[in-house]
Amino acid sequence: MFEESKFETTEREDALLRTYRSINGTMKHNEQLDLNDYFYFFHVVEKRGFAPAGRALGIPKSRLSRHIEQLEARLDARLIQRTSRQFAITDVGKAFFRHAKAVVEEVRAAEAHVKQSKEALTGKIRLSCSVGVAQFALEGLIADFIKAHPNVEIGQFVTNDMVNLIEAGIDLAIRGHVDNLPDSTLIQKRVANVEWRLFASPRYLADFGHPASPDDLKDHKGLCLGWNSDIAQWNLRSDTGAESQIEFIPRLSSDDMVTLKSASASGLGIVSLPAYVCQSDVDAGRLEQILPGWSSGSATLSMVQPTRKGVLPAVSAFAEHISTELPKQVSIRPSSMP
């Protein structure tokens, strides 16, 4: 199967080669490993059927069926239960799919690695993030990367729900969090820290006055991030380490930062938001930061990836781009805040 390489190989490559020879040495002649079986099985499962996979690959579904039958015979296991009306993956098939997917991704990564030395980055990057991160933290960063690498495509899945990256096929996620992310097999990297501050419009402050201390906030109207909050709380911390908690009934609670920022700018009340989210509004005079010696919270933006194996060069380059540019995006310009 493999010919002796005329080139020097790494220890990992030697180990893989020995493993491959060992596998094939234990097989009968008519049971040779066929990577096409893995490729076709991956696409049949991903497309949820032989006909959709055949159309996507441009090959007859009979060829796909033959390869899957060949694979099941070699493994002596049923991977897909199929009738004229039903397509279901067995438990064994689900487990095998994860490995087949890894094989396909490794092959794609190997080809992309070779091509990278000859041409620009290519491929599709699947990114997940929250609504707020999409609207503010990543603003301009995605477009800048695509302009620099026009052969790269990016699919952005925007949701405030926690996404299972492996099940959703996500290459990279940006997650904002206050506490540590749960331990898992995911690759995690902290990218930036974000300070939260209190903001209100000049109109509101003219009508209700400027709070001089946290206690003064008890007489003010507040807006809250999180749509299902009947009673909210500002958790304040001063530059000297003093702390204060102020409860309030929000006039408006929402999961959308744009809605809250606009409402505050219209004079509806005081809002706690990431400082960089309100920076342009402060610069334009639509909002003012209140209690400048106090923060209303802090959070971390982390980059999460399902694996380091089989990662396309485009994904690695985009991750590096985010690591470099995101901290600049969420930083506070000294001239824009008191």
Tell me the DSSP string of 62-109: HHHHHHHHHHHHHHTS--EEE-SS-EEE-HHHHHHHHHHHHHHHHHHH
Residue 287 has pLDDT above 90, yes or no: yes
The pLDDT score that the predictor gives to residue 166 is 86
Provide the H-helix boundaries in 181-228.
202-208
Q: Which of 111-115, 289-293, 328-332 holds the top average pLDDT?
A: 289-293
Surface-to-core class of residue 211, CB atoms within 10 Å of its CB (0-12 exposed, 13-18 middle, 19+ buried): buried
4 by DSSP, 3-state: which? coil
State residue 116's pLDDT score. Answer: 60
Q: pLDDT, tens digit, for every residue of 100-156?
A: 888 888 887 777 766 665 457 888 999 999 999 999 999 899 999 999 999 999 999
Residue 17 pLDDT level (bands cut at 50, 70, 90): very low
Higher local confidence (pLDDT), 101 or 22: 101
pLDDT surpassing 70 at residue 15 = no
Between 106 and 223, the more confident residue is 223
Helix runs in 192-312, H state only? 202-208, 257-265, 279-284
**More confident of the two residues 283 and 51:** 283
Gap between the Cα atoms of 23 and 25, Å rounded: 5
DSSP H or E stretch at residue 323: helix 313-329
Q: Measured between alpha carbons, how far is 145 from 59 in angstroms, rounded to an integer?
A: 35
Judged against a pLDDT cut of 50, whether residue 47 lies above it is answered with yes
pLDDT of residue 179: 79
Is it the case that residue 275 has pLDDT exceeding 80? yes
Mean pLDDT across the stretch 47-74?
85
How confident is residue 84, by pLDDT bands cut at 50, 70 and 90?
low
Distance CA 178, CA 183 (A): 15
Query: What pLDDT digit, counting tens, does each position of 142-199 carry?
Result: 999 999 999 999 999 999 888 899 888 899 999 988 878 776 788 899 999 999 999 9
Q: What is the mean pLDDT of residues 194-207?
A: 96
Judge whether 230 and 262 are in contact, CB under 8 Å.
Answer: no
pLDDT at 7: 33
Q: Of 203, 187, 206, 331, give the one whose Cα is nearest residue 267.
A: 203
Task: Report residue 14's pLDDT band, with 50, 70 and 90 as the boundaries.
Answer: very low
- Distance (Å, rounded) from C-alpha 228 to C-alpha 226? 6
- For residue 302, name the pLDDT band (cuts at 50, 70, 90): very high
Which range among 47-51, 155-159, 307-311 has the greatest average pLDDT?
155-159
- Triad 238, 241, 242: Cα angle to 5°: 70
Higher pLDDT pick, 177 / 203: 203
Section 81-90 average pLDDT: 79
- pLDDT tops 90 at residue 60: no
Domains annotated on the chain, with CATH = 34-116 (1.10.10.10), 123-192+300-336 (3.40.190.10), 194-297 (3.40.190.290)
Using the predicted structure, report yes or no on whether residue 16 has a pLDDT greater than 50. no
pLDDT at 58: 87
| pLDDT higher at 39 or 287 | 287
Please give the helix or strand (H or E) that residue 274 lies within, else none.
strand 270-274
Rounded to the nearest integer, the mean pLDDT of the chain is 84
Q: Is the pLDDT of residue 29 over 70?
A: no
Confidence of residue 10 (pLDDT cuts 50, 70, 90): very low
DSSP string, 168-182: HT-SEEEEEESSPPP
Q: CA 275 to CA 331: how far, in whole Å?
A: 8
Residue in the block written with tokens 């076709």: 40
Q: 3-state SS string over 102-137?
A: HHHHHHHHHHHHHHHCCCCCCEEEEEEECHHHHHHH
Distance CA 315, CA 119 (A): 16
pLDDT score recorded for residue 322: 96
Distance CA 122, CA 107 (A): 15
Cβ atoms of 301 and 326 within 8 Å: the answer is yes
- What pLDDT is attached to residue 238? 94
